[in-house]
Structure 1
Amino acid sequence: MYLIFVLVLTKIIAHQGCQHEQHNHKEEYKINNLIYAVAILQPDNGSGVNGIVKMISDGYTTTIQAKITGLSDGLHGFHIHEFGNLIKGCISAGPHYNPHEKLHGGPNDQERHVGDLGNVYSENGIANFKITDNLVKLNGQYSVIGRSMVVHANEDDLGKSDHPDSKSTGNAGARLACGVIGISGPFELD
């Protein structure tokens, strides 16, 4: 009987230890209650477009900053897509991340996908972008960690044109570069 008690007690202690380890593991990427993430944009189909996207979240809002090179001058759609699967290039990233089943819109619209970040503006082949958003999360049920950032060939019409793709993709065209969003250690935004 004593042996059974010891075995059961050992199992309970081991289980609690595992739970403690799991809890620590889940929280280890938080630094001063901030969560950091990055996506390295790689060119698709020889586009020559590259970039880096940095994200910092306090759990309520997320600041997203990007620097993208190799784009033609003008506006280009910029979105978070559903999957982090880039096996077939950017096309396998799936549609815009839209867990609430909304219509496509702009980042300031009530009706929008979580992944709708609007446009980046490129001048002389360089686009700098910065936004603070309250729908994009780096933790919880709707976290974008493991999903993809995608920059497109055309301007995102923000769901406001008569084009048949306006309410789903903003008619932003081909995917020029993409990268998976991953957890990062701390960094400074520019």
Structure 2
Amino acid sequence: MAKQLDYLTMKEIFRRFHEAEAEPKGELEHVNAFTLVVAVALSAQATDAGVNKATRSLFKVADTPEKMLALGEEGLTGHIKTIGLFRQKAKNVIKLSRILVEEYGGEVPSSRAALQSLPGVGRKTANVVLNMWFHQPAQAVDTHIFRVGNRSGIAPGKDVETVERAIEDNVPAEYQQHAHHWLILHGRYICVARKPKCGACLIRDLCSYEEKTL
């Protein structure tokens, strides 16, 4: 685990990320808050590309909790059977759709606690929805962010909540809103797990990783 980088280094890192892509976007396709919740819940232990392939047809017929309930568990399963753990995920999506209809008038709540009370929605999913839909500076730590945070010194921590707090505490305020997207994309395409592409890295000279590749 690298040591936490100092404030000026952090500010320069995120200045470079911002300069390269001022408005980074998540790669899960959605059309409203509900479809975002569903897409993120389906993405656990699956790729965004695989989820998008399944949900393109699903969201054409079920883009609200009411329509998802009308589709039913079996109908939903037919759309998402290419995604890992699809049977349990189908049960969760139907359950959360029912809760949204019965307790929230069909609307997705904007509080972390309410989101996390939904079946299949953990802290990471809640943070993605809070950030992407409700524009709160929530930090959703996935495997990419956990790796980048620890490898680079941007947000070191022994578990995801520690990394999440390190981002909240150490990333300059003006960059908090997009921090997790920059870090996810950096981890997905540059700072990859097995052989990071350090030669193409925007922050190579600022990163604490000792085993940089050529």
TM-score, normalized by length of structure 2? Answer: 0.21
Structure of greater Rg: 1
Higher relative contact order (CA 8 A, sep 6+): 1
Structure with greater helix share of residues = 2
TM-score, normalized by length of structure 1? Answer: 0.23
Structure with greater strand share of residues = 1
